């Protein structure tokens, strides 16, 4: 993988990242994913309070030409969404690991986080 992969984050094979802090986790898409999508022009975020199950559709990221689902890497309850993306979805391209985060959830089962890939494993994909 030639794109930026951050140490300390967990990853999925479908190019989402998870940043765990206590019982909360921020979720976004990886630099590789934003690069493949290019020109993100619309992000459809879930409603706060929604329960999500691992593997289910969490949000939708659209580029000019494509519509891509982002899947929940872990289960939990949505406690915050990145509303700045409503007006500036291009932040996901510019800063996929920082200001371009998508959703924050209250983690249901921390064991699920441990099952995700670490940076080294994700880099090998």
Partner 1 sequence: MVLRSPLYENQVKLGAKFTEFAGFEMPIQYSSIRDEHFAVRKKVGLFDVTHMSNVWITGPDAASLISLTTVEDASRVEDGKSQYTEILRQNGTIIDDTIFMHLGDRFMMIPNAGMNQIVTKWLTEQAKKHHLKAKVEDVSRDYVILAIQGPSSKDTLQKLTDTDLDAVKFFGCEEVKVAGVECILSHTGYTGELGYELQITPTKKATTVFDAIFTAGAEFGIQPIGLGARDTLRLEKAFMLAGNEFEGGRTPLEATLGWTIYWDHEFIGKEALLKQKEQGTFQRMTCLECVEKGIPRHKCGIQKDGADVGIVTSGTLSPCLNVGIAMGYVAPDKREMGSFLDIIVRDKPIKTKVIKPPFVPKDWAQKQEAIVP
Supply the Cα-derived Rg of the chain in whole angstroms: 13
Of 3-11, 25-33, 57-65, 98-106, the segment contacting partner 1 by CB under 8 A is 57-65
x/- track of binding to partner 1 for residues 62-91 (CB under 8 A): xxxx-x------------------x-----
Q: Whole-angstrom Cα distance, residue 69 to residue 30?
A: 13
- Write down the least CB distance from residue 13 to partner 1, Å: 21
**Nearest CA-CA partner of 101 in 13, 40, 19:** 19
Nearest CB to partner 1, comparing residues 1 and 121:
1
Beta strands in 4-124 (DSSP E): 10-11, 16-21, 24-29, 40-44, 51-52, 57-63, 67-71, 76-81, 103-107
One residue of 38, 83, 84, 114 binding partner 1 per CB under 8 A: 38
Which positions touch partner 1 (CB under 8 A)?
A: 38-39, 41-42, 44, 60, 62-65, 67, 86
């Amino acid at each position: 993988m030639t794109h930026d992969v951050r140490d300390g984050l967990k990853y999925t094979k479908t190019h989402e990242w998870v940043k765990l802090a206590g019982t909360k986790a921020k979720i976004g898409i990886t630099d590789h994913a934003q690069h493949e999508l290019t020109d993100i022009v619309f992000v459809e975020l879930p409603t706060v309070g929604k329960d999500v199950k691992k593997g289910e559709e969490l949000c939708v990221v659209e580029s000019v030409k494509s519509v891509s689902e982002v899947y929940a890497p872990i289960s939990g309850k949505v406690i915050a969404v990145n509303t700045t993306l409503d007006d500036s979805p291009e932040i996901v391209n510019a800063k996929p690991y920082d200001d371009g985060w998508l959703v924050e959830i209250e983690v249901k089962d921390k064991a699920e986080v441990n099952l995700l890939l670490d940076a080294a494993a994700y880099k090998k994909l």
